[in-house]
Amino acid sequence: MSIHQTSFVLSVEDLTVSFDGFKAVDGLTFYVEPNECRVMIGPNGAGKTTVLDLICGRTRATSGSVRFKDQELLSMREDQIVLAGVGRKFQTPSVYEDLSVFENLELSFPRGHGVFGSLFFRRDAEVKDRIQEIAETIFLADLLDEKAAFLSHGQKQWLEIGMLLIQDPELLMLDEPVAGMSVAERKKTAELLNRIIDHRSVIVIEHDMGFVEDIATRVTVLHQGKTLSEGKMDKVKNDPKVIEVYLGH
Amino acid sequence: MTDFSKPKTPGMSRRAVLAGGAALTASLFAPRGLRAQDFPTAAVNTTGLAVTDSTVTIGILHSVTGTMAISETGSVQAEKLAIEQINAMGGVLGRKIQFIQEDGASDWPTFAEKARKLLVNDKVASVMGCWTSASRKAVLPVFEQHNGMLYYPTFYEGLEQSPNVIYTGQEATQQIIAGLDWVNQTKGAKSFYLLGSDYIWPRTSNKIARKHIENFMEGCEVVGEEYYPLGHTQFNSVINKIKLRKPDVIYAIVVGGSNVAFYKQLKAAGIDPTKESPIVLTISVTEDEIRGIGGENIEGSYACMKYFQSLDNPNNIEFVKAFKEMWGADMVIGDVTQAAYLGPWLWKAAVEAAGSFDIDKVREASPGIELPTAPEGYVKIHENHHLWSKTRVGRARMDGQYDVVFETADLVEPNPFPEGYQ
Amino acid sequence: MQIDRKTRFLTREEAIYFGLLAAVIFLILPLALDSFRLNLFGKYLTYAFVAIGLVLCWGAGGILSLGQGVFFGLGGYAMAMFLKLEASTPEATAIQSTPGIPDFMDWNQITALPWWWEPFNSLAFSLIAVVIVPVAFAFIIGVAMFRRRVGGVYFAIITQAIAAILTILIIGQQGFTGGVNGITDLRTLKGWDIRTDEAKEILYFVNAVLLFACLFAAQYVRRSKLGRLLIAMRDQEDRVRFSGYDVASFKIFVFCLGAAFAGIGGAMFTLQVGFMSPTLVGIVPSIEMVIFAAVGGRLSILGAVYGTLLVNWAKTTLSESFPELWLLGLGALFIAVVMFFPNGLAGLWSEQVMPRLRKLFAGRGAGARPPAAPFPANSASAPDSPAAKAAAE
Amino acid sequence: MFAGYSAGELTAIFAMQGFAGLILFSVFVLMALGLAIIFGQMGVINMAHGEFMILGAYVTYLVSHAFADYMPALFSFYFFVAMALAFLASGALGMLVEWGLIRHLYRRPLDTLLATWGLSLILQQIYRSVFGAREVGVTIPDWMMGSLPLTDMIEVPINGLFVMALALGISVAIYLLMFRSRWGQQVRAINQNRVMAGAVGINTERTDRLTFGIGCGIAGVAGSAFTMIGSTGPTSGQLYIVDTFLVVVFGGAGSILGTIASAFTISQAQSVLEFFLSGSMAKVITLLVVVGILMLRPQGLFALKLRK
């Protein structure tokens, strides 16, 4: 174990997954540094979402290694990965529609995650204050007691981001956070994201190039499960390989 | 197609039933034409049973729904026939019998619940009911606690003797031993393959059969014994095993839906019971079951029990006639149906011998009660509440009836706790 | 109608409903019914334990078990084994070839008590076993199934197969279990005759108290964060996982809790009915218990109790007067509940009856909020009127 | 247990035991195919499957009586007519049920389970009211009930051969329907993406109804065939239900081939165990092994690994 490796927050090495012979991700390697915002781009089917699925344990890898700080994530369960400090936001807003905004946030509060911990979980001042604080951040302070089912699409996205914030993960993975939003919502969201990606490492999948340029530290371009190009936005943008498969069509 | 719960042409049947009833009781020792006013209610009913100046209420407790309804329907019909005949000749102690019918729904807790209802709420003077051992075991504590009297019609495993039950079917030794001796002596059978459905009656019966074969029948042996879950429908493997062992006799105690599958597959596998190689001997197939199995599949098998519909005696001819007139010409009558028919008659005889409906007095009067009019021939209640009865072997015919090929010379003594068989 | 953000154990509305049910069970039924009918309702209430467990597992957690009879049976058998040993004194069984062992063992040529029967000589052990044995069994099934993410239909069918296996085993091993007859002829509990009317009345109240204990436990779970997690899991299992929860362990917990309730119900059944048999373990009773919960409302623990009482009362009444109609009625009930009242009596109450009552009594203020979603935070559990009426008759 | 038998006898026994296993296999295939289509292609749990089978058996019973009464000369061949009518009757009832019940519940698979259980109770009671509580005896033509002596010792039951041939025939027919017919194409399309299938002009409602009808119709044919080997009574259908579900689930829902392979595995295991052990234990062990394997491999034996 070299000193060099441990300075990364996330080291993905030679990651491969195959579905009945089809290699959706093929020998992928990349590293994420502390406080880096890594954006993944690539055409549909390039394997972007699958990479996130592999990191957070939703899909089991065929081979390779994913190390988060000093832990091998591939042998851990999803919930263990989350508790280790990896948060994930899904492409479609996924909140608990039958619960209120308050309860949605409460379930993500990082305490009482065991069976008995949750059975004897107390809703004390710390919890309430933190939820209030987060709710204000995500523009939902007035809607705390509303059922999540009655929120608009954008509000649901914010709520989900809020649920991630309250977890306070070291590595945050966002899958198309501004997709399907109105212009006004998108602006608010970008503002929100800019605020929350401070002080932590982030992996974002996004198609909106303006948005990408705005937030990206570095960019990885995926194509057919492999890295096509990697580096600063400017460098990637001018890479002829990238232009051919993705930008220049 | 056929509604089994209502008598056919009730108007017609009344006269026939009357005639049948009269014939049946012609030689009954009990005095005829008892009048209710000779037996004041206060005197014949000191324990608050459902007895009025003109009626007495009893219970009928069988499964009308569920898997056991198949078997228990015949018993209900026989009991209703007996009650109607008794009423037609003046009732019991001058009182007409009324009955309350409850459905056990093939569910043992329901049996217990309904038994309690009949005894506690309805205060019935006796109950005709139950079919499976499990249902009887479930109601037994209820009858003992509330001091009721149950007339239980099924041939069963024995090992029981309750003061609150009269067992009108045969216990296992009565049914089994005579048949085994017969097949050994007249057919020269030496080796036996025991087969049964997996519950207490086949297991206990086979245990008695095995003890008898090994300890009391010289040179005879059991070459196989096994049990299949109730409702099992695939017997090809065991049939192969039987072919491998080549027993002289397949001794089958398969019941219910399994029965049908077993005999059909036996026949199809080339074991034709009519060829008697091996001989198929059963104690679980009455005429009732053959309707489902199909006569062509079981023709030539032997059954060992106390009653067959084809018995040739005047009592039985009258009984079969009355039964068919009440319930339809296509009805068949099996061993248990006949035993169920005895229930009301035995109770009537005991009540009249006791001169009272009180359970304790009826119980006291019961041992020694004779019924010369029984369709199966003369029966008598033993001290142990079972019946002295003859055992017969019948050979199944194509038309679903049995030819009686053997009958014990004397009545066989009931022995629910047989020494040497446990 | 602001949602109360305090995690209160009972809202005022719920407290009223609990009180109503308590009044029905502790006052109205005992006063209105004779000893025989009261015992019957006592028997029904033992099934309600299972129904409450099903509300938690199925309604809240989305886990449909078609094998709850297994746990009911295990609890019942644990109790029955103790009672049977007490009833099998050497004096009472003098007629046997081996006196002092249960009669069915003697019939099966067993000459000594099997080692695993021995501990059931102790009442304390048996009472613990009533809960622990079903829970342990549920735990094994739960770990095997939920850790591998078996759910939904597969889980239902596998639990059904387990019920079938256990039934065949119990029937096949009759020397140790009493076979198809079950364990019968139970008489006394530490010398106290459980067959008398007086004993049955006392047992009814013991049963009722235990039922309320289970109801409170279930209410506590629903009211806790774990309860909200269950709902969250039912709808968005993946999301819960990515909020850092080990979904399987929560399912295992609630499945074990349901098993514990069922075990207690089974033990009370044995005490009140006086025997235990494999017919209560199999597929048919297991599915019937699901329908009790469905009729009451799969989301409401109080509804489950009313549903159980109503269906069983209808079964007894219908089968007394129209045995042929009973199956038709039960079948139609299954279909009707699923098709037209998926939230059962509780749903009828909170969606149909309550809004009208509100309109009737207080025209103002009510109805400001949108209609209650299927599992409202302050869920209205229904003391529904037909059941209450039925129970009172 | 084989001491004292000649090699010839043993060969004969093993050959016949092999046939017994194949017959059981065919029975399982017949039981499970209809369910596999419905469960696998539509995701519907039909707990009344056994009752659809028994409807086929009762139709056979009625047809046998009709032939005996009106066309005794043709009695030997009534069985083929009976099977066709059983298919139509069960299929028609199936389509009716789909229309009245199932189509409202496609989004709630557990609820279809409860509703069809209710349906099975109703059907049982209807059978009981119409045909009586007792089992009915279905007379099978003589030529079908005998056995075919291959050698002195090896005898092959003709009804077993018949069941095997039928299982094969129906499997082939389903395969052709599924992969060579327009209906099969539509069913597979709907199974993969219901919305898309609807969008490209497939009448999903009609296809669903037809699928359910065909599944139930096959159950009816199976029930008709089972009159040769089993009983026909109001509750006989219940005897098959657990086995049937396990076969389908074990095979991996959605895979007809998987169902057939699973039927083969379970039937051979049970048949061999029954030969060497007592019947009850054989059954328990078979079920335990199946449940055990399902716990290890919940997606069944033959499910594909798919990208989520």
* Dist CA D256 CA D173 (whole Å): 12
Chain B interface disruption, residue of C277, C312, C317, most B CBs within 10 A:
C277
Strands A201-205 and B127-129: unpaired
d(CA D304, nearest CA chain A) in Å? 8
C226 reaches A (C-beta below 8 A): yes
Q: DSSP readout, B152-217?
A: E-S-B------TTEEE-S-BHHHHHHHHHHHHHHHH---EEEEEEESSHHHHHHHHHHHHIIIIIS
For residue A98, give the nearest of C224, C242, C375 by CB distance: C375
Tens of pLDDT along chain C (393 residues)? 344 466 678 888 889 999 999 999 999 999 999 888 899 899 999 999 999 999 999 988 888 999 999 999 999 999 999 999 999 988 888 878 888 899 889 888 788 999 999 999 999 999 999 999 999 999 999 998 888 887 777 888 889 888 988 988 898 888 899 888 899 888 899 999 988 889 999 999 999 999 999 999 999 999 899 988 998 888 788 888 888 899 999 999 999 999 999 999 999 999 999 999 998 898 888 988 998 998 888 889 999 999 999 999 888 887 767 766 778 888 888 898 888 888 888 888 888 888 888 888 775 544 444 333 333 333 333 333 333 333 333
Is the CB of A119 less than 8 angstroms away from the CB of C224?
Answer: yes
D308 reaches A (C-beta below 8 A): yes
* Dist CA B155 CA B168 (whole Å): 8
Structure tokens at D187: 């069913």
List of chain D residues whose C-beta atoms are within 8 Å of the C-beta of residue B258: 231
For the domain B172-305+393-407, what is the CATH superfamily, name and number? Response regulator (3.40.50.2300)
Q: What is the mean pLDDT of each run of 10 residues along chain D (308 residues)?
A: 70 81 89 87 86 94 91 86 94 94 85 89 90 81 79 79 91 88 84 80 86 93 89 83 83 79 89 81 84 76 49
Of residues C374 and A165, the one with the higher pLDDT is A165
Is the CB of B112 less than 8 angstroms away from the CB of C97?
Answer: no
**pLDDT for position C117:** 95
- Counting as contact any 3 or more CB pairs under 8 A, the partners of B are C, D
Model confidence, pTM: 0.86
Fold of the CATH domain A3-247:
Rossmann fold (3.40.50)
Is the CB of D275 less than 8 angstroms away from the CB of B241?
Answer: yes
Q: C9: helix, coil or strand?
A: coil
For residue D305, give the nearest of A19, A50, A58 by CB distance: A19
CB pairs under 8 A between A and C: 100
D113 reaches C (C-beta below 8 A): yes
Backbone φ/ψ region at A42: left (φ over 0), alpha (ψ -120 to 50), beta: left
Nearest CA in chain D to A23: D307
Q: B45: helix, coil or strand?
A: coil
* Dist CA C265 CA C273 (whole Å): 12
* Per-residue pLDDT tens over the stretch D122-145: 999 899 889 887 778 788 888 887
| Chains A and B: 3 or more CB pairs within 8 Å of each other | no
List of chain C residues whose C-beta atoms are within 8 Å of the C-beta of residue D295: 144-145, 148, 150, 158
- Report CA dihedral (A136, A139, A145, A146) to the nearest 10 degrees: -170
* C371, C347 contact by CB (below 8 A): no
User: What confidence tier does B368 reach under pLDDT thresholds 50, 70, 90?
Assistant: very high
List of chain D residues whose C-beta atoms are within 8 Å of the C-beta of residue B268: 145-147, 157-160, 228-229
* Dist CA B329 CA B341 (whole Å): 18
Instruction: Report how far Cα A36 is from the mean position of its chain's Cα atoms.
Output: 13
- Around Cβ B374, how many Cβ atoms within 10 Å? 26
The CATH 3.40.50.2300 domain(s) of chain B lie at 10-169+311-389, 172-305+393-407
> Which of A:11-70 have CB within 8 Å of D?
19-20, 22, 24, 50, 53, 58-59
Strand order in the sheet with B96-103: B96-103, B55-62, B127-129, B150-152, B165-167
For residue B229, give the nearest of D129, D271, D283 by CB distance: D283
CA count, 13 A, side-chain hemisphere, C7: 23
What are the CA-CA distances from residue C338 to residues C151, C343, D35 (Å)? 20, 8, 21
**pLDDT for position A249:** 47
Is the CB of D229 less than 8 angstroms away from the CB of B240?
Answer: no
**pLDDT for position D179:** 84
Q: Which helix H or strand E contains A37, and what residues bound it?
A: strand A37-41
Residue B34, pLDDT above cutoff 80: no
> Can you give D282-294 as a three-state secondary structure string?
HHHHHHHHHHHHH
Q: Residues near C344 by Cβ (< 8 Å), separated by ≥ 6? A: C293, C294, C295, C296, C297, C298, C300, C303, C307, C337
d(CA A187, nearest CA chain D) in Å? 31
* Per-residue pLDDT tens over the stretch A6-21: 578 899 999 998 887 7
- Around Cβ A195, how many Cβ atoms within 10 Å? 10
Chain A interface disruption, residue of C1, C56, C225, C369, most A CBs within 10 A:
C225
D302 reaches A (C-beta below 8 A): no
Nearest CA in chain B to D282: B228
Q: DSSP readout, D21-82?
A: HHHHHHHHHHHHHHHHIIIIIH----TTHHHHHHHHHHHHHHHHHHHHHH-GGGGGGHHHHH
List of chain D residues whose C-beta atoms are within 8 Å of the C-beta of residue C179: none
Helix axes C301-321, C197-223, angle to 10 degrees: 140
Structure tokens at C264: 């207690």
How many residues belong to chain A?
Answer: 249
> Which of D:58-117 have CB within 8 Å of B?
none
**pLDDT for position B188:** 92
* Dist CA D143 CA D116 (whole Å): 38
Q: Which whole number is the average pLDDT over A58-69?
A: 89
ipTM of the modeled complex: 0.84
For chain A, give every domain's residue range: 3-247
Of residues B419 and B212, the one with the higher pLDDT is B212
List of chain D residues whose C-beta atoms are within 8 Å of the C-beta of residue C68: none
List of chain A residues whose C-beta atoms are within 8 Å of the C-beta of residue D306: 19
> Which of D:116-145 have CB within 8 Å of B?
125, 128-140, 142, 145
Query: Of the candidates C204, C203, C292, C223, which has an alpha carbon nearest to the alpha carbon of residue C18?
Result: C223
Is the CB of D298 less than 8 angstroms away from the CB of C154?
Answer: yes
d(CA C208, nearest CA chain A) in Å? 25
* Dist CA C343 CA D108 (whole Å): 13
**pLDDT for position D41:** 79
For chain D, give every domain's residue range: 22-140+151-244
Fold of the CATH domain B10-169+311-389:
Rossmann fold (3.40.50)
Taking every pair of Cα atoms in chain B, the longest distance, rounded to a whole number of angstroms, is: 70
Is the CB of B244 less than 8 angstroms away from the CB of D137?
Answer: no
List of chain D residues whose C-beta atoms are within 8 Å of the C-beta of residue C294: 114
List of chain C residues whose C-beta atoms are within 8 Å of the C-beta of residue D126: 328
Chain D interface disruption, residue of C180, C334, C340, most D CBs within 10 A:
C334
**pLDDT for position C6:** 64
* Per-residue pLDDT tens over the stretch B67-126: 777 788 899 999 999 999 999 999 999 999 999 999 888 888 889 989 999 999 999 999
Nearest CA in chain D to A20: D305
Highest mean pLDDT among B43-47, B415-419, C120-124: C120-124
List of chain B residues whose C-beta atoms are within 8 Å of the C-beta of residue D142: 296
Q: Residues near B216 by Cβ (< 8 Å), separated by ≥ 6? A: B177
List of chain A residues whose C-beta atoms are within 8 Å of the C-beta of residue C235: 96-98
Task: Locate the DSSP E strands across D99-187.
Answer: 147-149, 155-157
**pLDDT for position B32:** 53
d(CA B409, nearest CA chain C) in Å? 30
d(CA C65, nearest CA chain D) in Å? 10
Nearest CA in chain C to B142: C195
Query: Of the candidates B343, B350, B215, B209, which has an alpha carbon nearest to the alpha carbon of residue B282?
Result: B209
Backbone φ/ψ region at D252: left (φ over 0), alpha (ψ -120 to 50), beta: left
Nearest CA in chain D to A61: D307
Residue A118, pLDDT above cutoff 80: yes
What are the CA-CA distances from residue A174 to residues A166, A178, A188 (Å)? 15, 10, 16
- Counting as contact any 3 or more CB pairs under 8 A, the partners of D are A, B, C
List of chain D residues whose C-beta atoms are within 8 Å of the C-beta of residue B257: 135, 230-231, 233, 235-236, 239
Is the CB of D119 less than 8 angstroms away from the CB of C154?
Answer: no
